[in-house]
């Protein structure tokens, strides 16, 4: 190292010697040599390079390596990666060279680190949970996550080194919303405490300083209180022959600050400021639970416990593997949290799940490194996980997620099933984007709509307003959302085409002077193998049916003999038409079956026409009836002109609105009684001081109904009367 000062070189060498002394306690000479080889390379390539603060970069990478080993329990490959974690970014060293010198796994970890660190984290605070899933899903080796945590912790301890896009603010946002939740799930509580304190000092420096000063000022009093509190506990533990260690501390400043905000109280009124940890040093693994409960009994016999504050994480450990028995007991006017655990449990609590694998399990076999890494991935990915069984290898066998995460140009994250295409993604963004999609730029390179995306791809959809979904698009999508949107568009287009086809068809029938009926239509559907009229009309509009051939077929079906036969059948079913070629409707219509439409309830005097039913008979509709208008448009050949002859008893519905006054209902019904009008049904109610009644009545004609309406309108307090059929 020629480009550092002598003082800096001495500091670097001293820091590296500390690292080697640490790892030498558990690693083989071969593993130590492996680390030394990485150190030599980083000294060569990082020579003269500095962090943003001016600190030698070699010191930074050595510190990251120390964190990985001492505070996380990681081993040789991760230590090597820690030393080399910046090397491809700041030097000419390639991944192929790393692979050649240090093996496939180290190269894979470093590649994964570069990939994840290149993510756009601009929306991390608003999408933290989704981003965490994306972050983890992009990691092929979970040791990448450990390196990122160690790098983040080093930056928190040396904030002058922070050099991320967005500056210090973005760094602490990433730490708060992404890194700390991951650290918490891993049970790395000491690291979590350091990270939380760094974030609080940045975000709330005044409050941090005030709380810290109050803790410092009360330290002597706290020492005395805790000594008195612990004295009887120590005596009780010794009498039971328990080899123990007791530690106590004031809870972390971020934890106290969170309690102050949650409870809206000042520092002096925080419920429990202190935590005592009782560590059982001589507990055998099969007797750990019993020993913890024995200590619990000693403590609660001396001090009153709060039963609502009991936390049993030895029967059901946390997802991170954390095992401990927590209770809160009263010490005079104060409350003290007491944590009870064995030496093994304390080691896991200090270093997280990683340290668990330094102990032998019940079957006296170490879990493999791959199983351990899968275990950690399971803990991080399974958000519903509440329990932890270090001997359960089911999670280790857990397959890769069937979800992937795609990033928009704005940094928004979209979750899709593995195997999704550009077209799937386009419809996930917005239906209109999907309908007009012509391809996309994937990581800066143009790709067609059928291109299958990969996890973490950055995708910029390209659209053209003239582009619309095609039937073959259904072969290019995998998500149900995209399929349903495409089908809906195609169906709507089919309906539009069918309307055009219907217009063409009926215009041709008129030109051919053909009388059309349902029987001919059924024959047409059979001939052209159509399941519905919509399909038939669509095929006409899209030129799938030859109109000349269609004409020949219809004319063959309507030869003169057939026409006479159909007309004869119609004469049997229809009433005799008058000289004006219109059917007459009266009290007796020559035995012809007819009925009044319930949708509009026509009465004599209304302008009406008839609609011939397929099963026989005619339904009479008012000409302004919405249903009749729709049927006239679709089935014009089934309409017949009709006129009234005499009075035909019919029903009508009228609405009467009046001021809610005494006797108003009696006045209304009296009018109907005088006119000898029969009330078939009635409903009444009042609202906001108004009476509203609806009456279904039998009337002989429109004139008679209008007479009734006039009389009702003349009543006192009546404000509105109208026919509402």
pLDDT in tens, 112-153: 888 877 776 655 554 566 666 666 666 677 788 889 999 999
Together in a domain, 217 and 299: yes
Mean pLDDT, range 619-646, rounded to an integer: 81
Q: Which band of pLDDT confidence, cut at 50, 70 and 90, is reported for residue 423? A: very high
What pLDDT was estimated at residue 519?
Answer: 75
Q: Which band of pLDDT confidence, cut at 50, 70 and 90, is reported for residue 378? A: low
In a domain, 345, yes or no: yes
In a domain, 146, yes or no: yes
Which residue, among 102, 96, 61, has the nearest Cα to 82 in the 3D structure? 61
Give the number of other Cβ atoms within 10 Å of residue 86's Cβ: 22
In a domain, 396, yes or no: no
399-413, 481-495, 661-675 — most confident range: 481-495
Q: How far apart are CA 459 and CA 552, in angstroms?
A: 55
Q: Are 620 and 595 in contact (CB under 8 A)?
A: yes
Together in a domain, 673 and 615: no
User: Poorest-confidence range of 31-45, 486-500, 575-589, 697-711?
Assistant: 575-589
What pLDDT was estimated at residue 349?
Answer: 78
Together in a domain, 40 and 177: yes
What is the chain's percent helix, strand, coil content, to nearest 5?
A: 50, 15, 30
What pLDDT was estimated at residue 599?
Answer: 83
Give the number of other Cβ atoms within 10 Å of residue 375's Cβ: 24
Together in a domain, 504 and 607: no
Q: How far apart are CA 85 and CA 454, in angstroms?
A: 24
| Helix 6-24 and helix 57-66, axial crossing angle in degrees, nearest 10 | 20
| CATH number of 443's domain | 3.10.20.30
| CATH number of 286's domain | 3.30.460.10
Give residue 174's domain range.
6-203
What pLDDT was estimated at residue 606?
Answer: 82
Q: Would you state the structure tokens that stand for residue 133, as one six-digit string?
A: 């899933």
Together in a domain, 135 and 37: yes
* % of the chain residues with pLDDT over 70: 82
Which one is predicted more confidently, 63 or 568?
Answer: 63
Q: What DSSP state is assigned to residue 68?
A: I
User: Poorest-confidence range of 240-244, 264-268, 310-314, 513-517?
Assistant: 513-517
What pLDDT was estimated at residue 563?
Answer: 47
In a domain, 415, yes or no: yes
Mean pLDDT, range 171-187, rounded to an integer: 84
What pLDDT was estimated at residue 374?
Answer: 57
| CATH number of 685's domain | 3.30.70.260
Q: What is the mean pLDDT of the chain?
A: 80
What pLDDT was estimated at residue 589?
Answer: 46
Which one is predicted more confidently, 62 or 561?
Answer: 62
Which ranges constitute the DSSP H helices of 281-395? 288-302, 343-351, 369-381
Q: How far apart are CA 61 and CA 83, in angstroms?
A: 5
In a domain, 394, yes or no: no
pLDDT in tens, 308-334: 888 999 988 887 678 999 999 988 877
Mean pLDDT, range 97-120, rounded to an integer: 86
Q: Are 106 and 84 in contact (CB under 8 A)?
A: yes
CA dihedral 203, 207, 212, 215 (to 10 degrees): -140
Q: Which band of pLDDT confidence, cut at 50, 70 and 90, is reported for residue 617? A: low
In a domain, 22, yes or no: yes
Together in a domain, 59 and 172: yes
| CATH number of 166's domain | 1.10.3210.10
Together in a domain, 457 and 311: no
What pLDDT was estimated at residue 63?
Answer: 95
What pLDDT was estimated at residue 231?
Answer: 94
Q: How far apart are CA 71 and CA 492, in angstroms?
A: 62
355: left (phi over 0), alpha (psi -120 to 50) or beta: alpha
Q: Are 695 and 682 in contact (CB under 8 A)?
A: yes
Q: Which band of pLDDT confidence, cut at 50, 70 and 90, is reported for residue 615? A: low
* Distance (Å) of CA 686 to CA 653, 669, 712: 19, 17, 18
Mark which of 458, 478, 498 sits at the end of a domain: 478
Which one is predicted more confidently, 656 or 133?
Answer: 656
Which one is predicted more confidently, 167 or 264?
Answer: 264
In a domain, 616, yes or no: yes
> Over 90: is that where the pLDDT of 624 sits?
no
The structural domain count of the chain equals 6
Mark which of 566, 600, 622 sits at the end of a domain: 566
Which one is predicted more confidently, 265 or 564?
Answer: 265
Q: Are 419 and 450 in contact (CB under 8 A)?
A: no
Which residue, among 644, 647, 651, has the nearest Cα to 597 in the 3D structure? 651
Q: Are 602 and 622 in contact (CB under 8 A)?
A: yes
What pLDDT was estimated at residue 70?
Answer: 87
**What is the bridge-based pairing of β-strands 618-622 and 594-596?**
parallel
User: Poorest-confidence range of 293-307, 395-409, 432-446?
Assistant: 395-409
> Over 90: is that where the pLDDT of 507 sits?
no
Together in a domain, 134 and 166: yes
> Over 60: is that where the pLDDT of 583 sits?
yes
Instruction: Classify the C-alpha dihedral 262-266-269-273 as positive or negative.
Output: positive
Together in a domain, 168 and 42: yes
In a domain, 168, yes or no: yes
Maximum pairwise Cα distance, the chain: 124
Mark which of 645, 660, 679 sits at the end of a domain: 645
What pLDDT was estimated at residue 392?
Answer: 39
Together in a domain, 214 and 187: no
* Distance (Å) of CA 498 to CA 473, 506, 523, 537, 633: 21, 12, 18, 5, 14
Q: Are 2 and 58 in contact (CB under 8 A)?
A: no
Which residue, among 155, 171, 146, 15, has the nearest Cα to 82 in the 3D structure? 146
Together in a domain, 183 and 325: no
Which residue, among 349, 346, 366, has the nearest Cα to 357 in the 3D structure? 366
Q: Are 101 and 34 in contact (CB under 8 A)?
A: no
Which one is predicted more confidently, 518 or 233?
Answer: 233
Q: How far apart are CA 182 and CA 380, in angstroms?
A: 7
What pLDDT was estimated at residue 508?
Answer: 83
Together in a domain, 682 and 601: no
Q: How far apart are CA 236 and CA 9, in angstroms?
A: 53
**Helix/strand/coil for 533:** helix
């Amino acid at each position: 190292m020629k480009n550092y000062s002598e003082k800096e070189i001495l500091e670097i060498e001293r820091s590296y010697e500390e690292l080697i002394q640490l790892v030498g306690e558990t690693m083989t000479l071969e593993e130590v040599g492996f680390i030394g080889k990485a150190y030599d390379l980083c000294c060569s390539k990082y020579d003269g390079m500095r962090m943003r603060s001016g600190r030698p970069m070699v010191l930074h990478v050595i510190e990251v390596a120390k964190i990985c080993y001492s505070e996380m329990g990681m081993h040789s490959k991760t230590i090597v990666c820690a030393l080399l974690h910046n090397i491809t970014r700041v030097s000419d060293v390639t991944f192929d060279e790393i692979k050649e010198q240090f093996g496939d796994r180290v190269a894979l970890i470093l590649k994964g680190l570069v990939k994840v660190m290149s993510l756009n984290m601009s929306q991390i605070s608003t999408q933290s949970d989704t981003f965490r899933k994306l972050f983890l899903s992009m990691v092929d080796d979970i040791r990448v996550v450990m390196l990122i945590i160690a790098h983040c912790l080093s930056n928190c301890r040396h904030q002058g080194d922070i050099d991320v896009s967005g500056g210090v603010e973005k760094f602490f946002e990433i730490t708060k919303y992404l890194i700390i939740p991951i650290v918490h799930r891993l049970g790395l509580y000491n690291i979590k405490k350091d990270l939380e304190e760094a974030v609080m000092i940045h975000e709330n420096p005044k409050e941090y300083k005030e709380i810290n000063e109050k803790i410092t000022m009360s330290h002597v009093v706290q020492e005395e209180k805790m000594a008195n509190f612990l004295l009887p506990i120590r005596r009780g533990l010794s009498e039971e022959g328990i080899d123990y260690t007791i530690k106590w501390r004031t809870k972390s400043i971020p934890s106290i600050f969170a309690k102050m905000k949650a409870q809206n109280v000042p520092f002096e009124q925080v419920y429990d400021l202190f935590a005592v940890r009782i560590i059982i040093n001589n507990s055998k693994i099969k007797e750990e639970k019993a020993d913890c409960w024995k200590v619990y009994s000693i403590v609660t016999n001396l001090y009153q416990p709060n039963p609502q504050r009991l936390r049993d994480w030895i029967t059901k450990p946390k997802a991170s593997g954390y095992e401990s028995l927590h209770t809160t007991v009263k010490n005079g006017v104060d409350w003290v949290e007491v944590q009870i655990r064995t030496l093994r449990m304390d080691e896991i609590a200090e270093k997280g799940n990683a340290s668990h694998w330094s102990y032998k399990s019940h079957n006296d076999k170490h879990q493999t490194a791959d199983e351990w890494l899968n275990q950690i991935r399971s803990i991080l990915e399974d958000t519903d996980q509440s329990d932890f069984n270090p001997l359960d290898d089911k999670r280790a066998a857990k397959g890769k997620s069937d979800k992937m995460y795609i990033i928009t140009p704005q940094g928004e994250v979209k979750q899709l099933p593995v195997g999704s295409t550009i077209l799937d993604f386009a419809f996930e963004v917005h239906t209109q984007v999907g309908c007009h999609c012509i391809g996309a730029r994937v990581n800066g390179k143009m790709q067609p709509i059928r291109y299958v995306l990969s996890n973490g791809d950055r995708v910029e959809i390209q659209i053209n307003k003239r582009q619309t979904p095609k039937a073959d698009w259904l072969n290019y999508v995998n998500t149900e959302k995209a399929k349903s949107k495409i089908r809906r568009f195609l169906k709507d287009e089919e309906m539009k085409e069918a309307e055009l086809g219907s217009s063409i068809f009926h215009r041709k029938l008129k030109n051919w002077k053909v009388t059309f009926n349902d029987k001919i239509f059924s024959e047409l559907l059979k001939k052209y193998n159509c399941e519905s009229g919509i399909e038939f009309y669509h095929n006409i509009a899209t030129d799938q049916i030859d109109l000349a051939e269609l004409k020949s077929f219809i004319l063959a079906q309507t030869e003169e003999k057939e026409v006479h036969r159909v007309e004869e059948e119609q004469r049997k079913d229809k009433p005799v038409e008058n000289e004006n070629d219109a059917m007459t409707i009266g009290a007796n219509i020559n035995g012809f079956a007819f009925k009044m439409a319930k949708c509009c309830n026509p009465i004599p005097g209304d302008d009406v026409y008839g609609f011939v039913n397929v099963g026989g008979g005619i339904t009479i509709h008012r000409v302004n009836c919405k249903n009749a208008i729709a049927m006239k448009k679709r089935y014009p050949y089934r309409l017949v002109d009709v006129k009234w002859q005499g009075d035909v008893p019919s029903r009508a519905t009228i609405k009467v609105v009046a001021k809610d006054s005494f006797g108003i209902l009696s006045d209304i019904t009296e009018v109907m009684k005088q006119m000898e009008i029969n009330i078939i049904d009635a409903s009444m109610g009042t609202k906001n001081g108004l009476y509203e009644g609806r009456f279904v009545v039998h009337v002989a004609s429109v004139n008679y109904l209008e007479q009734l309406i006039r009389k009702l309108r003349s009543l006192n307090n009546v404000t509105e009367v109208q026919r509402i059929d």
